Amino acid sequence: MPDGTEELLNILNIERLEVDLFRGLGAGGESFRRIYGGQVIAQALAAAYGTVANRPCHSLHAYFMRPGDPSIPVIYQVDRAHDGGSFTTRRVVAIQHGKQILNMSASFQVAENGWDFQHSMPDVPPPDALTSRAELHRQNAHHIPEKHRADFLRPRPIDYREVEPRDMFDPSPTSDVNHMWFRMKGAEGTTPTMQHCLLAYASDMNLLGSSLRRHGLTWYKPRQMTASLDHAMWFHGPISFEDWHLYTMDAPFSGGGRGFNRGSIYTQDGVLVASVAQEGLLRPLKTKEDV
């Protein structure tokens, strides 16, 4: 699969070392400088799923403590915190160089019936009317130093299309509301567990970018230091990530060197299948004018 699908599925197909001990690849994914945060979350969820039978995850809460080193694997240690009649709880610690880089709690529940309600999906243009990430990268590749251009242009398994993409290199301040369609064609035929892990992986994409929008910043305008600090996710229904989903995000607060971001994930026909919240580091870099 030339688009990187096989590589991503391999990254999330973690290796069991012992009963509650797993190992995941560090290399690959979205970034070569440090391990992409969504990759560690998804691998930690896969490790937790490796100790749970017949109960889908309904929520996870993770804290990032150190950047991941892509040159070595990540070790995941699972603590079987609770096995109840309806709910199962797991705590997962991700370790590199003998230190924690992430810890996460995840809860799993037997299928139950209850009252149903959800907010309606925002009315936005369909994905076919929008420019793909790959095309936006091709249009902007001349801005990227030659030594990094091949990584910038390499095929990616997850296609996303922003409803209101901004100029990557000369952005203007705009609304923090941030809509994006995304999908992974190669997710077709994977297990429900892998579907959850793939959506968890993708849920870190562009979320922290919502905090940048109000301030006229992007990842390619280096006036800030950014990193995910924590990440929470709630699964509301089955996932078929080979189909388009709308990720509608906003950032209601930034301050104190942090930005708070929220997201709702809908199927293309308007079913809310997941909710996300994340706080990220948003620290101004000193410039010559500040010294």
Sheet holding 224-235, edge to edge: 15-18, 21-24, 74-83, 87-96, 99-109, 57-64, 224-235, 272-284, 258-267, 245-255, 178-183, 159-162
The answer to whether 194 and 252 have CB atoms below 8 angstroms apart is no
Rounded distance between C-alpha atoms, residue 149 and residue 146, angstroms: 5
**Eight-class DSSP state of 277:** E
Contact 74, 96 (CB under 8 A): yes
Catalytic residues: 204, 228, 278
Contact 37, 64 (CB under 8 A): yes
Sign, CA torsion 280/172/164/28? negative
Tokens of 284: 């101004």
